[in-house]
Amino acid sequence: MSYSFDQFCTDCRQALKSDPGPAGRETVRQNLEKLLHEPDFVAAECSDSAAAGIRTIYKDDETDFNVLVHVYEAGKSGPPHDHGKSWAVYGQAAEWTDMTVWKRTDEASEGNKAELAEDRSFRLEPGMAGTFEPGDIHSIHFPDGARFVRVTGTDLDAIATNRFDPQTQTVAVGSRL
């Protein structure tokens, strides 16, 4: 029995209404892994013929979660960043994404100063998904042709997020992703 994108959105809405905390987000992660094993969804949204870039394919009016598809022709390494007060679930559709989780080692009291240390790393392969809680700092690295789906707790363009530079030990407070 196939798992449709519409069913995915319904299941995520129900999970987040039932528990908007970590348990609900874990259900979203599990649902995303299930969706990423559906060849029809991956072919429709994440194939080689899909337009490059980031596009929002769903916004939920009740719980405010968003579903975005990321299609990249060229690989990329992104700086450490957070999603502000939002959470995010990344699910790999093609190629892989290396995720590095960072921890602040300072007291976050000096404006644009931020000291970070790598905490752990993991790789998302096709069909796998990983969750980042509000305020979690992470960076991503992926090769040419990578494609992933990201579910966020809200529209990240509408909230303040932060980008970190471990080399200069600074943070750009309030920058948008």
Q: Tell me: the pLDDT tens digits for 70-108?
A: 999 999 999 999 999 999 999 999 999 999 999 999 887
Determine the pLDDT at residue 72.
Answer: 94
**Rounded Cα gap, residues 137 and 118, in angstroms:** 10
Give me the domain span that covers residue 16: 5-175
Determine the pLDDT at residue 125.
Answer: 98
CATH number at residue 42: 2.60.120.10
Going by C-alpha positions, the residue among 164, 161, 141, 147 that lies closest to residue 47 is: 147
The pLDDT-based confidence of 49 (bands split at 50, 70, 90) is confident
With a cut of 70, say whether residue 175 has pLDDT above it.
no
Task: Count structural domains, the chain.
Answer: 1
Task: Return left, alpha or beta for 174; rule: phi > 0 is left, psi -120 to 50 is alpha, else beta.
Answer: left
Determine the pLDDT at residue 177.
Answer: 46
pTM of the model: 0.93
Q: Tell me: the pLDDT tens digits for 10-44?
A: 999 999 999 999 999 999 999 999 999 999 999 99
Determine the pLDDT at residue 48.
Answer: 85
